[in-house]
């Protein structure tokens, strides 16, 4: 196949306002509300003809946030920069910036909802 296998992600949250504030602060990106009558969704801006996946924060009654069964990695220029904003935004660093060899660097963090997520950069 000639496309990346991931085309969407969802991060389940318990407190949407808190989670939005956290991701908007750490990533310095604004989220946009998606129209949905039953599910509260705020999307990370994405352009369909560009590489990478779009996704959203989701609050759905009955689905609890947290855990580390799925890790979403956000592309950054230098993952240490975004990682440096995590604690001030209310999260915590699980693993600071580390090399993954020829694939660049990652940092692992936990958001305000208990979800682990990754930051990735080539520098």
Q: Domain locations in the chain?
A: 8-121
Residue of 50, 65, 76 whose CA lies nearest to 14: 65
Cβ atoms of 113 and 68 closer than 8 Å? no
Could you tell me which residues come within 8 angstroms of residue 102 by beta carbon, excluding any fewer than 6 positions away? none
- The whole-number pLDDT of residue 97 equals 97
* Residues β-bridged to residue 9: 55
- The whole-number pLDDT of residue 21 equals 98
Considering the domain 8-121, what is its CATH architecture?
Answer: Roll (3.10)
- Provide block-wise average pLDDT over 10 residues at a time, the chain (123 residues): 77 96 97 89 88 90 81 94 98 96 94 95 94
Query: CA 32, CA 112: separation in Å to the nearest integer?
Result: 19
């Amino acid at each position: 196949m000639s496309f990346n296998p991931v085309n969407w992600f969802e991060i389940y949250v318990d407190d949407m306002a808190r989670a939005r504030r956290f991701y908007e602060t750490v990533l310095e990106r604004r989220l946009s509300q998606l129209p949905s009558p039953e599910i509260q969704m705020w999307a990370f801006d994405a352009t369909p003809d560009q590489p990478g996946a779009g996704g959203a924060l989701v609050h759905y009654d009955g689905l609890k946030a947290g855990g580390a069964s799925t890790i979403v990695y956000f592309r950054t220029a230098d993952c240490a920069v975004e990682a440096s904003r995590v604690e001030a935004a209310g999260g915590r660093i699980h693993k600071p910036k580390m090399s993954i060899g020829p694939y660049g660097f990652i940092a692992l963090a936990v958001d305000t909802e208990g979800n682990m997520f990754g930051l990735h950069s080539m520098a």
